[in-house]
Amino acid sequence: MTKLLMFNSLDDEVDVIKNWQASHPDIVIDTNKETLTPETVDLVKGYDGLLIQQDNLIDDPKVYQKLHSFGIKQISLRTTGYETIDLKEAAANDLTITNVPAYSPRSVSELVLAHTMWLLRHLNVAAQRESHNDFTWDNLQAHEIHELTVGIIGAGKIGSEVARVFKALGANIIASDPIHRPELNSVLTYVDQQTVFEQADIVTMHTPLLSSTYHMVDEAAFKAMKPSAIFINASRGAVADTPALLAALKNKDIAAAGIDTIENEANIFSKDFSHKDQPNSWLNELLSLDNATVSPHIGFYTDIAVKNMVEISLEDALRIIAGKHGQHEIGLPEK
């Protein structure tokens, strides 16, 4: 009987597991609320594989060495991003890493649309006024989406779905991506990154976090945008330089921002700070602005996405444990 351990499980994921196990009675899956760290890695002893979902970097070699000593062959991420993993240490300890590259592109695209429409229709301003019984119309006149150009940085699985959603509403779509997909030619026009920054009325980020994308949107990028531009980030917090974003919002270099992810969000998003101070000063500053909306990294968080994240990561884990290749393996550096 195969035994798996799932770290940092959500209650919704546990429900998915129960349904999945009904047709896989030979698989034991235990769950906990812990993140994988040097202090918790011993919990894996006695299991055949593990699944994780966490924001904090696993950078201590002892974690990978202990997993190897326990006979573990893989780490299955229930996420798209894999920047939490030290790929060199994983390779050195014969650990195969898998992710879920497309749990539900639609889920993220719908949240991007929600942030965009909330800001485009000035609902953030209206809501603030209404909290003081002010129902005036001053400065609430809005543009219609079909008048505007949506610029996408990263037109992969999620970015292309964002393009389709806005295209269906009549917007003009431009996108910057190193890979040009012919099947998207009827949906968008490929341009360079600078053109997106300069021409788009809505700039939305859909890139992984790599050394090449770290702070891709910096002070110069924000200054290149239209003063009327709306900036959306539902990818990774560090693709945008947060102090530069805050300055752009305060100085009106851009009109507004919808943020689902921010730098240093680990151990904040998904946690309750209603009775204590949260430690991210940038987040506090962003929340104080009337031209920004913030959601706690929930772009992925729909019923379909959660189901796919759990089931795809489970299937990959079981394939690797059985000596096969996982369908979503991350390329590792040579030892």
Catalytic annotation, pick one of 236, 263, 319, 328? 236
Is pLDDT above 80 for 55? no
Higher-confidence residue of 80 and 88: namely: 88
Higher-confidence residue of 266 and 190: namely: 190
pLDDT score, position 85: 95
Q: Which two tokens stand for residue 321?
A: 């444990």
Q: Average pLDDT, stretch 256-283?
A: 94
pLDDT tens digits along 173-190: 999 999 999 999 999 999
| Separation of alpha carbons 150 and 140, rounded Å | 21
β-pair type (49-52, 2-6): parallel
pLDDT score, position 335: 60
pLDDT tens digits along 295-318: 999 999 999 999 999 999 999 999
pLDDT score, position 323: 96
Place of tokens 């809505």: 202
Amino acid (one-letter) located at 293: T
| Separation of alpha carbons 297 and 80, rounded Å | 13
pLDDT tens digits along 87-100: 999 999 999 999 99
pTM, two decimal places: 0.88
- Reduced 3-state DSSP string for the chain: CEEEEECCCCHHHHHHHHHHHCCCCCEEEEECCCCCCCCCHHHHCCCCEEEECCCCCECCHHHHHHHHHCCCCEEEECCCCCCCECHHHHHHCCCEEECCCCCCHHHHHHHHHHHHHHHHCCHHHHHHHHCCCCCCCCCCCCCCHHHCEEEEECCCHHHHHHHHHHHHCCCEEEEECCCCCHHHCCCCEECCHHHHHHHCCEEEECCCCCCCCCCCECHHHHHHCCCCCEEEECCCHHHECHHHHHHHHHCCCCCEEEECCCCCCCCCCCCCCCCCCCCCHHHHHHHCCCCEEECCCCCCCCHHHHHHHHHHHHHHHHHHHCCCCCCCECCCCCC
Amino acid (one-letter) located at 164: R
Q: Are 205 and 177 in contact (CB under 8 A)?
A: no
Q: Average pLDDT, stretch 183-200?
A: 98
Q: Are 76 and 95 in contact (CB under 8 A)?
A: no
Active site residue 122: no
Catalytic annotation, pick one of 206, 265, 319, 328? 265
> CATH code for 2-102+303-321?
3.40.50.720
Amino acid (one-letter) located at 215: H
Q: Residues near 71 by Cβ (< 8 Å), separated by ≥ 6?
A: 48
Give all strands of the β-sheet with 202-205 in edge-to-edge order.
189-190, 172-176, 149-153, 202-205, 230-233, 256-259, 292-294
Active site residue 110: no
Catalytic annotation, pick one of 78, 297, 319, 328? 297
Is pLDDT above 90 for 233? yes
Pick the closest to residue 102 from 187, 208, 231, 15 (CA basis).
208
Active site residue 236: yes
Considering only the C-alpha atoms of the chain, give the largest distance between any 2 of them, rounded to a whole number of Å: 67
Is pLDDT above 90 for 164? yes
* Domain segments of the chain as ranges: 2-102+303-321, 105-294
Pick the closest to residue 213 from 176, 178, 239, 245 (CA basis).
239
> CATH code for 105-294?
3.40.50.720
Q: Residues near 46 by Cβ (< 8 Å), separated by ≥ 6?
A: 3, 70
| Separation of alpha carbons 84 and 78, rounded Å | 12
Domain 105-294 in the same topology as domain 2-102+303-321 = yes
Q: Which two tokens stand for residue 278?
A: 């949260």
Q: Residues near 93 by Cβ (< 8 Å), separated by ≥ 6?
A: 64, 65, 67, 68
Amino acid (one-letter) located at 155: A
Q: Residues near 204 by Cβ (< 8 Å), separated by ≥ 6?
A: 112, 116, 150, 151, 152, 153, 159, 162, 231, 232, 233, 234
